[in-house]
Amino acid sequence: MPVTPTVEVTVPYKPTGRPVGRPRTSVLTAISVKLPHDLLLEAIVEARRTQTTLAAVLREGLQWRITHTAEVRAALCAQRRTERAAAEVQRCEAEERLAEAEHRITTVQVQLAEAEERLATVMVQLATERWEASQAARAARLEAARLEQEIAGLRQILGDILEPVPVAPTRGQLGSLASIVTTLAPTHPDGVTAAQVLDWCQANRVTWATPELVAQALETLKRDYGYTAIAGPDAE
């Protein structure tokens, strides 16, 4: 049987100015995602319940995750800024109290020096002139007694002023003490006390840990940060 030859017919191509192929009307990009089987079943159930597509459910979940994470980060940043501002205010107040105490100490020291000088003058008069029987001697003894009482009162005031000014623990010290409490908590089921923390600090050469600072830091950790492993003050 004879074979009929085939003739290839070419159609002339006329440019239209538009891109070749099916026009793309969607702004979405297709991706491939691997999901656990249980999670995929839950997503399908949710899509059927809301009468939407599985892709829409996945897009909404991803958008919620991104938005929620941004909100949490913003809240954490705001909280840290507030804590830093409060710590700065406490530091300024402590510096003001310290400056006021130093001014009062200087004033009392000047008054004390003047009183001691007057007392020395009176004592010299008593020793050199020996006015035991005269009115002047009695007046000098009375003045000396009064000056001694004044000096005792000024020394009492100076001792009250020289009491240590309480210093609030810094964020770094709070973090260190929190780590120490976490370390001691497994071996102290009844709660970690300030004495136990001080013993640990002395054994590990933590020089800044004073009893007052440790007690204040443990109270702050228990009150503001919810550390339940810290024992109450009655446990001391």
pLDDT per position as a tens digit, 13-40 = 677 777 666 666 667 788 888 889 999 8
Q: How many domains does the chain have?
A: 2
More confident residue, 16 or 99: 99
Q: How far apart are CA 192 and CA 185, in angstroms?
A: 6
The region, left, alpha or beta by phi > 0 then psi within -120 to 50, assigned to residue 229 is: alpha
Looking at 161, 189, 218, which one is the last position of a domain? Answer: 161
Q: Is there a domain that residue 186 lies in? A: yes
Same domain, residue pair 179 and 212: yes
Q: How far apart are CA 197 and CA 177, in angstroms?
A: 8
Q: Which domain holds residue 213?
A: 171-235
Q: Is there a domain that residue 52 lies in? A: no
Same domain, residue pair 184 and 216: yes
Q: Is there a domain that residue 131 lies in? A: yes
The pTM (predicted TM-score) of the whole model is 0.31
More confident residue, 216 or 39: 39
Task: Print burial letters for 71-84: b (CB count within 10 Å at least 16), e (below 16).
Answer: eeeeeeeeeeeeee
Could you tell me the pLDDT band of residue 236, with boundaries at 50, 70 and 90? very low
Answer for the pair 215, 166: CB distance below 8 angstroms, yes or no: no
